[in-house]
Amino acid sequence: MLFTRRISLAVTALLAVLIAVPSQASAASPVPFRATFNETFTAAPCSPVPSLCVVGVGSGVATHLGLTLESSTVLVNLASNAAPGCNSETHETILTAANGDQIVLHAPGQSCATGPTTVAAVDFYVVTGGSGRFSGASGSGTVNVTVNLASGTAVTTYTGTLSTPGSLR
């Protein structure tokens, strides 16, 4: 009887502790995410033909990362006609914070000519990975890009959400 009472008290105490102490969530709640980058890029024909591979690098500021470097590769399918004057594309991006922590994004979408030397792209990103405090990160949103083909420059803005369970460690 005494043994049963002790077990009962131990279980009750354990339950009280589990209820009173908040547990760490397996994923943090999504928070707003915004980043803007000034980029330079190069473009060249690539496979599958007819495609255009665009490699861009930029720097800017991102919420939760601060000063950030951006490295992206965009595969533009020139055979697609997503809409008149538009082509489908897939954008792969790595955002690197000053301390080396990274967020990896995948963003399919489309780019459309807006003038003889300008293009606007809208892609829909999903966070596919990360490192450091962004390990296990998730999130999604839109990528808006304004491209100047004549100067080889672009301005890219990411708007959406980010969940960073790695920051809870």
Residue 122 lies in a domain: yes
Supply the DSSP string of 70-91, one letter for each residue.
EEEEEEEETT--SBTTEEEEEE
Q: Is the pLDDT of residue 162 over 80?
A: yes
pLDDT in tens, 40-67: 999 999 999 999 999 999 999 999 999 9
Range of 20-24, 78-82, 142-146, 164-168 with top mean pLDDT? 142-146
Residue 103 lies in a domain: yes
pLDDT at 82: 82
Residue 6 lies in a domain: no
pLDDT in tens, 122-145: 999 999 999 999 999 999 999 999
Name the residue among 131, 123, 128, 129 with its Cα closest to residue 169: 131
Give mean pLDDT, residues 135-156: 97
| Reported confidence tier of residue 72, pLDDT bands at 50, 70, 90 | very high
Residue 70 lies in a domain: yes
Tokens of 23: 């547990």
Residue 5 lies in a domain: no
pLDDT in tens, 9-36: 444 443 343 344 343 444 568 999 999 9
pLDDT at 33: 97
- Which domain covers residue 57, as residue numbers? 24-168
Residue 12 lies in a domain: no
Residue 11 lies in a domain: no
Number of domains forming the structure of the chain: 1
Q: Is the pLDDT of residue 166 over 80?
A: no
Q: How many CB atoms lie within 10 A of CB 125?
A: 23
Window from 75-79, 80-84, 140-144, 160-164 with minimum mean pLDDT: 80-84
The answer to whether the CB of 128 falls within 8 A of the CB of 141 is no
* CATH number of residue 79's parent domain: 2.40.350
Residue 94 lies in a domain: yes
